[in-house]
Structure 1
Amino acid sequence: MSIRVGTSGTPKTPGEPETSGTEGAGARWAEAVRREAGAAGRAVRAAWAGPGRERDLVVQSLKAALAAALAWFVASDWLNDPMALMAPWVALVLVQATVYGSLRQAAQQWTAICVGTLLASAAQALTGNTLGALALSVPLLMLLAHWPRFGDQGIYAATTAVFTLASGAVSVSAVGHRVGQAALGAVIGVAVNALVLPPVHLRDVRENLAALTREAGEALHAVAAGLRDGEWDTATAADWSRRADRLERRCEGLRSARSWSRESLRLTAGPLRALHRVPLDVPPESEDARWGRVSDHVTALTRTLAVAADDDRAPAPPRAEALRIYARLLALIGDACAAQSERFLDAGAAAGGVEGFEAGRAEEEMEELRGRLQHSLRDHAGEGAAHTAVLGTLLLQAENLWVEALPGARRENRAE
């Protein structure tokens, strides 16, 4: 078949329509717009459907607009300020994700505004020229913007200096007026954030815990399916390792969510939290540690299987019959993880236990499977250390997963 080259240099077959570079770019832009519109539509539907991150963003946006409007009303209509700009500006940006964050950033931003206003006014008085004052004050303020004490609010020192010099109001009364306006906006912004549906980030802890337990169960089910079918090699083991890596990233997300949860509970009164209609019985931090250990055990399990699948390594995989028994054991532990994930999403349920999963019957079957694996381990011992090492390591890791995923099993083992 003959090949011809289009205008873009790409080989084309006969009958394929010509597309110019402009048409291709237009199609890509249209596809990008379509994807963004679809994402926006999904976000709107999620915000309408019920509580979640999307609705939290809507609430925070409306609160920021309310704070700005209220600050403008107080400064312009109540205090008769002809240039009521600073107060709504500060109030708008101080409606943060937590009340504590709003208060901390209010202090940082107000200090930055004071420094910027004072330094710009001093530079104007010293040089007598706006351009000279800008050249003298802004470089120093940009250096101060990186001072850790300012956090991410340091840039407001430089922007305030530019605004001060551009307005030409550098007298002592103008400086005091501008600083007072910033303080008014900070008070209004923090007050609106604290008193109107204060943000409480406990839902994220539940969602991250549920996602971690669900993905741990999915990883165990994937390993169990591969071992049961006997169709696994280095590529399959690498895929299992990637699943384990995703669990570690889930653990990092859980740690971040827990940090946000602790911060959101600071400086928020109990009755005000109740207005947010967020369940306050968040799972304890001990659950984070427990499922973090489960993630570590899954990672160790997949690494052992990766070593066993490598033909260039000394350890050899166990016999197929032992692997099928082991696969059933992993599947039961994966079922326990999946049931616990559903329980974490049930805000009214306690943290411990696995509702909807017959833990007693599962533990009985696990005990029977463990006994069969121990018997198989003795049989493997007669075939040499290579087979015994892998099966013994896998059995130990499964028992570690068992006692973490099923706390009742842990108590029984301790009693034994």
Structure 2
Amino acid sequence: MIPSAREAWHRVHGEAGTVGRSVRSALTGPGPERDLAVQSLKAAGAAILAWAVAGWWWQAPLALMAPWTAVALVQSTVYRSVRTGVQQVVLIAAGTVLAAAAAGLTGDTMAAMALVLPVTVLLGNWSRFGDQGTYASTTALFVLVYGSYSGFDILHRLLETLLGAVIGIGVNALVLPPVHLRSARDSLCRLPRDATGLLRDMAEEIEQGHERHQAQEWHRRARRLAGRLTELRSARTWTRESYRFNPAHRIRRPPGPELPSTEWDAAWERVVDHLTSLTALLAEAAGERPRFRPPPSTVLADVPPLLHALADVCAADRTALDSPERRERALRTRQEAMARSWEAHRRLKARLTGGAAPDDETATSVGGLAAETRQLLHELENARVA
């Protein structure tokens, strides 16, 4: 469906606003936007340097191969640059040799293409080569279209490719080599930050008398926390990879304190599971036709203080992760908030044993509420920042 002029304008305006915010972020402080800008400038610089050596100084017959390879090898990690460089050299060499052999065998460009392209495309689709596979077939096309497949030309193609690979890898490894520790730290901080916001909103809306659509929105937000865990696992993988073959990671000052162990991630995975179950229970016990009988108002009155205390625990975790100078104070605040959380849970549990649930259906919802919040408390205890 073709958008109207008004919709198209809003989309363009929104995209322009996003680009503007990204540019401001890159100029005003460290972050993923600045990292991306640095990598882009490095790739452009590597291509220019490769062209200066191969095209301007060396006067190579197909100097394009050098900057073409160099710009593609300024990857997000030094290890990835090296791995991609090996893949590209193999693919370009294969494409060059196969194209030259096909041209020599057939003596016709069209026939050589028909012979070599199916082979190089199949070779490029081999999973070992990942997204670099197109270099085999595109190199074969360059060789055949330019008609440069003598022994001298083949040697030049390989030397130009090696030159571009050395320059691309060298620029990435020696000029501000990328380390993704900041991305992992940002992902770590997002988990307790988002959980804090969710818990506070739940507490305030329960105090005001929540509706089913609000509880369903809590559940959706809790499920989105699982996506934060996926981002965190990916960021940790990128961080580990960015240290491989990186000559500067030992001399560059790390951005912030050491990351907590992966046991912290596992504890937060269980926290997210129980928070998701808690919000699902509250959603099923709300509205005009609930699946479970809603907990009595006397029980719900004890839930907001517990949720506020849990939000304070998560907020303290975020401070401890984000601000080394406030770490000790944040951990003391966390300990005090955990004590308040347990006290609020004891009051909630007392409602269950003290006659607040007069029938089985109500006992189910109140008991589920007490059980899920207890599990949540235990897992938050385990998720303490060491």
TM-score for the superposition, normalised by structure 2? 0.91
Greater mean alpha carbon deviation, residues 73-82 or residues 113-122: 73-82
Q: Secondary structure at the match of 1:355?
A: helix
Taking the aligned partners of 1:318 and 1:30, their CA distance within structure 2 comes to 49
Report how far residue 362 of structure 1 moved: 2.7
What does residue range 133-282 of structure 1 map to in structure 2 within 5 Å?
133-229=112-208, 231-269=209-247, 271-272=248-249, 274-275=251-252, 278-279=255-256, 281-282=258-259
Q: How many residues align?
A: 385
CA 341–363 in structure 1, closer or farther in 2 if over 3 Å, else same: closer
Report what 2:14 is aligned to.
35
Partner of 2:330: 355
2:318 to 325, 332, 341: 341
Rounded to whole Å, the distance in 2 between the matches of 1:285 and 1:395 is 29
Partner of 2:347: 372
Other-structure match for 2:296: 319
**1:246-293 deviation digits (Å, cap 9, x = unpaired):** 111111111211111111111113x45544764472332222222222
Measured in 2, the distance between the counterparts of 1:368 and 1:34 equals 51
Residues 40-59 of structure 1: pairs in structure 2 closer than 5 A? 40-59=19-38
Q: Which moved further from structure 2: 381-390 or 107-116?
A: 381-390
Identify unmatched segments of 5+ residues in structure 2. Answer: none
Q: What amino acid is aligned across from residue 174 of structure 1 in structure 2? A: D
User: 1:330-361 deviations in whole A, cap 9, x for unaligned?
Assistant: 111012112322332225666xx771763344
Residue pair 1:404, 1:410 contacting (<8 A) in 2 also: no
The CA distance in 2 between the partners of 1:129 and 1:357, in whole Å, is: 79
- Which residue of structure 1 aligns with residue 283 of structure 2? 306
Letter in 1 for 2:79: Y
Q: Decide whether the 8 Å contact of 1:304 with 1:394 is kept in 2.
A: yes
| 1:78–1:386 CA distance, 2 compared to 1 (3 A) | same
What is the DSSP-based 3-state SS (H/G/I as helix, E as strand, rest coil) of the residue aligned with 2:131? Answer: coil
Q: Could you give the per-residue CA deviations for residues 217-249 of structure 1, whole angstroms, max 9, x where no partner exists?
A: 2222222223222x2343222111111121111
Q: Residue type of the partner of 2:341?
A: M
CA contact (8 A) 2:70 2:165 kept: yes
Q: What are the superposed Cα offsets for residues 104-129 of structure 1, whole Å, 9 maximum, x if unpaired?
A: 11111111111111111111111101
Matched ranges for 1:123-142 at <5 A: 123-142=102-121
Give the match for residue 297 of structure 1: 274
The answer to whether the 8 Å contact 1:240/1:302 transfers is yes
Q: Indicate the residue corresponding to 2:378 in structure 1.
A: 403
How far, CA to CA, are the matches of 1:76 and 1:314 in structure 2? 73
CA pair 360-211 structure 1, distance change in 2 beyond 3 A: closer
- Cα distance in structure 1, aligned partners of 2:355 and 2:229: 36
CA distance 1:181–1:43, shift in 2 (3 Å): same
Equivalent residues of 1:237, 1:302 under 8 A apart = yes
SS at match of 1:191: helix
Deviation at 1:385, TM superposition (A): 2.2
Equivalent AA in structure 2 for residue 391 of structure 1: V
For 1:310 and 1:30, the matched residues in 2 are separated by 40
Cα RMSD (Å) of the superposition? 2.7
The amino acid across from 2:298 in the alignment is: E
CA distance in 2, matches of 1:277, 1:382: 54
Label 1:354 to 1:304 Cα distance change in 2 as closer, same or farther (>3 A): farther
AA at the equivalent of 1:297: H
Distance 2:210 2:231 in 1: 30
Gaps of 5+ in 1: 1-20, 412-416
| C-alpha distance in 2 between matches for 1:403 and 1:335 | 15
Aligned identity (percent) is: 42
**Residue in 2 aligned with 1:92?**
71
Provide TM-score, normalisation by structure 1: 0.85
Partners of 1:154 and 1:57 in 2: CA distance: 24
